[in-house]
Amino acid sequence: MALRQLLLTREMDTLNAEQAALMSAMSEIEARRSTWRERESRAEAALAEMNAETTAEEREAFDAECAEIKAEDTAIAADEEANQARQGEIAGRLAEIRTELEELEKRAKPSKNNPVRTIKTTTTTEREGHTNMNVRERIHAAMESDNVRTFMGGVREIMQNRGVNGGNHLVPTEFMPILREIITSHSALMKYVRVVPLRGDGKQALLGAAPEAVWTEMVGKINEVTLSASKIIVDGNKVAAYVPVPNSYIEDSDEDLAAIVLDYVGQSIGYAIDKAILYGTGKGMPVGIMTRLGAATKPAWWQDNGPAFSNLSGTHIGKISAASVTGAALFKEMAKVLGRAKEKYGASGKKFWAMNSTTWMTLQTELLSINAAGAVVTGAQMQMPIIGGDVVIMDNIIEDGVIAGGYGSQYTLAERAGSAIGSSAHALFLEDNTVFCGKGRYDGMPVAGEGFAAFSLTTTAPQTTKTFAEDKANAAEAE
């Protein structure tokens, strides 16, 4: 373990040095860009002065100058893209190293409750670094329950007896809070939106807006307030997936098996929830924030009892006016659009802005400066400059250059009880894997689309739709 920590520390030092060099190189690239802008401005001035008296030689010289300016722009853009891409890769790898170092440090410390017996974690959990010690201890405690032992025994029977068909097993109540915690930890956005737990299978109405209470004298009558405005109906859409787990990972103990199953399920559902919160279509899944912002006309999923529809596509979605916009001008244009996000219902005041690591690195480079010690520093510390709000990195969901978010309290996510885990040893028998299936039921939508906004750091508007994993299992039945 000590050797692994030493190797990771050395790799981190090397990456930090490379990152510093890249940031220094970015400063040089920005200087080249500044010189290029001056040259372009002079060319524009020369073009304005051209008239019928301009000689052929002067026109040829001007054309040659324009060609050089264009070539220099292409070269600078290529260097900028390569630099930012590498910085994004380094940032991602550094985050992985820090997570692994934290895991190694935790594993090196004995448990306070049981200093002799160390709770073994799954290989996948160690690699990904998601399940923390608190979750492992709770799994260990839950293993004392008869319900949990029965559940794990059923799963093991399916794994060990190849001739038995796999089935669904309701998650024991002792596992439910652990599973929800893991799903929440794997979801980057659930902690920002308004999560409403519901029971039952049918559709239920939720009040999207809380009414204003009325002030009166101490002995005055209490006023009745209206609760009929902005109702939304939520359904019980199911999100589910199955994942193969190598049997060699789960042959030791029930705790290992429980940890890896719960973690796999949490990863799968957490990712799907995040994608739906941003880009959900409203068909068999929640309505996404970007889906709402991109609706120029009243869509089919709009509910009659909800708030009045308004077209936000022209006001709450924006892009930079020109590729040459950088620095303070960039943040000015960005703030004009993202600043339109406002809380219509509720008053949590907490904002989030989702983007990928490349986009975040681009924003950081726009704020680079040199401190008194001569080091390159940035004023951005996982908080959106000027506008305010937490920066949420979502590399696998949002494309480069796009920022989307706002007030999470304006999004309602309904979470229903009844998650389940299923398993089967048949599907991947030859690969020596056991397949585990996890499912949950969620629905939701932005009750107030005005609470959100999106911006593109390019001259192309952000995409408001995404392709979701195809529901192949039910495609034939739908036909």
Q: pLDDT for 352-403, tens place per residue?
A: 999 999 999 888 888 765 445 544 455 557 888 888 899 999 988 999 999 9
Strand-strand pairing, 433-446 and 194-198: unpaired
Judge whether residue 450 has pLDDT over 60.
yes
Judge whether residue 436 has pLDDT over 60.
no
Q: According to the model, what pLDDT value does residue 129 have?
A: 40
Helix axis angle, 2-49 relative to 357-365, nearest 10°?
A: 60
Residue 292, φ and ψ in degrees, nearest 5: -65, -45
Query: Which of 59-63, 159-163, 218-222, 232-236 is least confident?
Result: 159-163
Q: According to the model, what pLDDT value does residue 127 have?
A: 31
267 vs 314, higher pLDDT? 314
Cβ–Cβ under 8 Å, residues 394 and 354: yes
Judge whether residue 62 has pLDDT over 60.
yes
Tokens of residue 160, six digits: 């060990």
Q: pLDDT for 324-361, tens place per residue?
A: 998 889 999 999 999 999 988 766 668 999 999 999 98
Q: What confidence tier does 112 reach under pLDDT thresholds 50, 70, 90?
A: very low
Q: According to the model, what pLDDT value does residue 321 have?
A: 94
Q: Which of 278, 300, 285 is nearest to 446 (CA)?
A: 278
- How far apart, in whole angstroms, are the C-alpha atoms of residue 157 and residue 164? 8
**Could you give the percent of the chain with pLDDT greater than 70?**
66
Q: Residue range 89-117: average pLDDT?
A: 68
456 vs 78, higher pLDDT? 456
Q: pLDDT for 403-435, tens place per residue?
A: 999 999 899 888 875 455 555 544 444 345 555
Instruction: Tell the burial category of 26 from Cβ atoms under 10 Å away from its Cβ (0-12, 13-18, 19+).
Output: buried
Q: According to the model, what pLDDT value does residue 109 have?
A: 58
Q: According to the model, what pLDDT value does residue 122 have?
A: 33
Query: Which of 236-240, 247-251, 446-450 is least confident?
Result: 247-251
- How far apart, in whole angstroms, are the C-alpha atoms of residue 312 and residue 314? 6
Q: According to the model, what pLDDT value does residue 425 have?
A: 47
Cβ–Cβ under 8 Å, residues 91 and 395: no
Q: What confidence tier does 163 reach under pLDDT thresholds 50, 70, 90?
A: very low
- How far apart, in whole angstroms, are the C-alpha atoms of residue 139 and residue 16? 37
Q: Where are the domains of the chain?
A: 2-49+57-108, 112-211+229-474
Judge whether residue 274 has pLDDT over 90.
yes
131 vs 245, higher pLDDT? 245
One of 3.90.1690, 3.30.70, 1.20.1630, 1.10.3470 is the CATH number of 112-211+229-474, namely 3.90.1690
Place of tokens 């309701």: 170
Q: Residue range 29-52: average pLDDT?
A: 87
In single-letter form, the type of residue at position 402 comes to V
Residue 448, CA atoms < 13 Å, CB-side half-sphere? 22
Query: Which of 98-102, 200-204, 302-306, 313-317 is least confident?
Result: 200-204
Judge whether residue 153 has pLDDT over 80.
no
Q: Residue range 320-327: average pLDDT?
A: 91
Q: According to the model, what pLDDT value does residue 209 have?
A: 55
* Sign of the alpha-carbon torsion through 32, 34, 40, 42: negative
Q: According to the model, what pLDDT value does residue 455 have?
A: 97
Instruction: Tell the burial category of 356 from Cβ atoms under 10 Å away from its Cβ (0-12, 13-18, 19+).
Output: buried
Instruction: Calculate Rg over the CA atoms of the chain.
Output: 27
Judge whether residue 297 has pLDDT over 90.
yes
- How far apart, in whole angstroms, are the C-alpha atoms of residue 350 and residue 383? 12
Q: pLDDT for 196-220, tens place per residue?
A: 776 555 455 554 555 667 787 777 7
Q: According to the model, what pLDDT value does residue 279 have?
A: 96
Tokens of residue 206, six digits: 């939720």
104 vs 446, higher pLDDT? 446
Place of tokens 């794997």: 186
- How far apart, in whole angstroms, are the C-alpha atoms of residue 435 and residue 423? 5
Q: What confidence tier does 240 reach under pLDDT thresholds 50, 70, 90?
A: low
Q: What confidence tier does 227 reach under pLDDT thresholds 50, 70, 90?
A: very low
Q: According to the model, what pLDDT value does residue 134 have?
A: 62
The rounded mean pLDDT for the chain is 75
8 vs 121, higher pLDDT? 8
